[in-house]
Amino acid sequence: MSLMFASPVVTPTVGAFTFSSRRSNYIVMSAVRSNSTSLCPVLTKFQKDCATPTPYLREVANAIADDMRAGLAVEGGGDLDMILSYVDALPSGNEEGLFYALDLGGTNFRVRSVQLGGEKERVVATESEQISIPHKLMIGTSEELFGFIATKLASFVAKEKPGRFRLEQGKERELGFTFSFPVKQTSIDSGTLIKWTKGFNVSGMEGKNVVACLNEAMAVHGLDMRVSALVNDGVGTLAGAKYWDEDVMVGVILGTGTNACYVEQKRVIPKLQSKSSSGTTIINTEWGGFSKILPRTIFDREMDEKSLNPGEHLYEKMISGMYLGEIVRRVLLQMCETTDLFGPFVPVKLSTPFALRTEHLCKIQEDKTDDLQIVGSVLYDILEVEASLEARRRVVEVCDTVIKRGGRLAGAGIVALLQKIEKDTKRMGSGKRTVVAMDGALYEKYPQYREYMQDALVELLGHKLASYVAIKHTKDVSGLGAALLAATNSIY
Ligand code: ADP
Ligand code: MG
């Protein structure tokens, strides 16, 4: 923000003209624009390649649904892993007692205590603390990392006010562990790490049970606590949201990355090798892995080739926060190389991968000034260019194209889940409200993205079904969800 105001006011100039009056400026500029847009084949082609008309979007939703079914049939049957979460018992509201949550999934970890008071009192007290993980621990040994976490947990517990939090006599403290890295879950309280991501590379952990690592560290540090539930952040969001609203059937994360979980009927899960096939369970779709029939452009291909996981998670790379700014940067770079977008030179900063972030696109799209002043200052601050009004308009168009495609594709994914739920439960058809719990800063902070997502939902579901669907922003409920799942899976 401060950077934005620090930049000088850039007078929009095009050719030999310098405009002063906003209104006349606008009219003349429009003329210039329509004339020269045709001179920007890169933009025209990009817009065409990114188009997601309704019939095509429907095909995408159907293809995601097909891969969901394939993944439920056999392990690795489709692009979506459709991981069994082993969460069969969802919070009912009757949970009572003191439970904890630990969220590990990035450069910070978060601990939370929750005193549950049952049906009437619900959450009687809760405290949380965020602790940053020193970089050397992210690339050290598992004893160092989990030892650090156990120590911090122990001091969090030591600060507890006895009046607010009460552990029943004879009980050990129980913890819901949200671990947002790829895990092969083997039961509600065990799972092995498949691989580290997000800059973590702790030695000797791949293939190990992450719950055992944490339990051992807590024992070593004299903390009377055990892990009762291992969950991923989507599952935690769904469980936490369902505690307050029983119509929640889906949990979606749209942040740096993306994922979705939903409540599934056990009888339609062929790969579930258990005797009981009644009731429901949560499926963690890992939908970011979907990679078929997507509207890929040359820019998506090039970004993918340079990524840590080329050829994988193509859906995630089109809809989640980490990538949207980077796609725009790559388009702008090619526009600069083929036309004089920002003058005769290609700005140096524009060649830096990930220089433009999704937050910047959001600021650009929120600019309501006639002469796109904010767009001008973002471009000045981030790319160090003085952009003409014509150039600013083109930048807005590129951002809009990427955000529209991303939001609409995310909407198609949600529709795939809702249609799957509808086929097996007929809940919306019988007029029952169905809620999608949503978390993640991309959804929270990008109104235009949300709008495109909502449009796609209505287009694909139709007004009637869509009127039963509510998308609810449920910020930070995954910690509560993990604590609740520790309660529902308590050994006591
Ligand atoms: P995580 O998924 O790591 O928990 P968040 O939910 O905090 O992360 O989401 C972070 C992502 O959200 C960033 O990668 C960024 O793309 C996006 N984001 C953050 N702030 C904004 C904003 N103001 N406008 C648009 N997108 C944002
Ligand atoms: Mg998050």
Residue nearest to atom 3 of ligand 1 (CA): 256
Residue nearest to atom 21 of ligand 1 (CA): 359
pLDDT digits (tens, 9 = 90+) for 277-288: 789 999 999 999
Mean pLDDT, residues 9-38: 34
3-state SS class at 67: helix
Q: From the CA of 441, how far away is ligand 1's center (Å)?
A: 4
Q: How far apart are CA 61 and CA 409, in angstroms?
A: 8
The pLDDT of residue 200 is above 90: no
Mean pLDDT, residues 223-231: 97
Catalytic residue among 81, 233, 300, 304: 233
Mean pLDDT, residues 378-396: 96
pLDDT at 275: 62
Neighbours of 5 (CB within 10 A): 8
Atom of ligand 1 nearest to the CA of 320: 16
Residue nearest to atom 25 of ligand 1 (CA): 359
Neighbours of 194 (CB within 10 A): 13
Say if residue 121 is exposed, middle or buried (CB neighbours under 10 Å; 0-12, 13-18, 19+).
exposed
Nearest bound ligand to the CA of residue 255: 1
The pLDDT of residue 5 is above 50: no
**Angle between the 389-425 and 41-50 helix axes, to the nearest 10 degrees?**
10
Sorting pLDDT into bands at 50, 70 and 90, what band is 270?
very high
Is 198 part of the annotated catalytic residue set?
yes
pLDDT at 98: 97
3-state SS class at 30: helix
Q: From the CA of 178, how far away is ligand 2's center (Å)?
A: 11
Q: From the CA of 241, how far away is ligand 2's center (Å)?
A: 15
Mean pLDDT, residues 462-485: 95
Q: How far apart are CA 336 and CA 163, in angstroms?
A: 64
Q: Within its chain, how far is the Cα of 319 from the centroid?
A: 9
3-state SS class at 174: strand
By the 8 A CB rule, do 404 and 50 touch?
yes
Atom of ligand 1 nearest to the CA of 321: 16
Q: Find the residues whose C-beta lies inside 6 A of ligand 1.
A: 106, 255-257, 321-322, 358-359, 362, 440-442, 445-446
Catalytic residue among 198, 208, 266, 349: 198
The pLDDT of residue 465 is above 50: yes
User: Nearest 5°: phi and psi at 22?
Assistant: -60, -45
Residue bearing the bigger pLDDT, 30 or 300: 300
Burial 225-236 (b: 16+ CB within 10 A, else e): bbbbbbbbbbbb
Q: Which of 133, 232, 356, 358 to mutate to test the pocket of ligand 1 (most atoms within 8 A of CB)?
A: 358
The pLDDT of residue 478 is above 60: yes
pLDDT at 28: 33
The strands making up 108-117's β-sheet, listed across from edge to edge, are 123-132, 108-117, 96-104, 173-179, 225-231
Q: Dig out the tokens for 416 from the structure.
A: 């795939």
Q: From the CA of 130, how far away is ligand 1's center (Å)?
A: 17
Q: Which of 442, 444, 473, 476 to mutate to test the pocket of ligand 1 (most atoms within 8 A of CB)?
A: 442
Nearest bound ligand to the CA of residue 444: 1
Strands 280-284 and 83-84: antiparallel
By the 8 A CB rule, do 226 and 173 touch?
yes
Is 363 part of the annotated catalytic residue set?
no
Q: From the CA of 455, how far away is ligand 1's center (Å)?
A: 21
pLDDT at 182: 80
Mean pLDDT, residues 469-479: 94
Residue nearest to atom 6 of ligand 1 (CA): 440
Atom of ligand 1 nearest to the CA of 233: 4
> What is the chain's mean pLDDT, rounded?
90
Neighbours of 288 (CB within 10 A): 24
Residue nearest to atom 7 of ligand 1 (CA): 441
Q: Which of 256, 329, 443 to mutate to test the pocket of ligand 1 (most atoms within 8 A of CB)?
A: 256
pLDDT digits (tens, 9 = 90+) for 126-171: 999 999 999 999 999 999 999 999 999 999 999 999 899 999 999 9
Residues contacting residue 302 through CB under 8 Å, at least 6 positions apart: 330
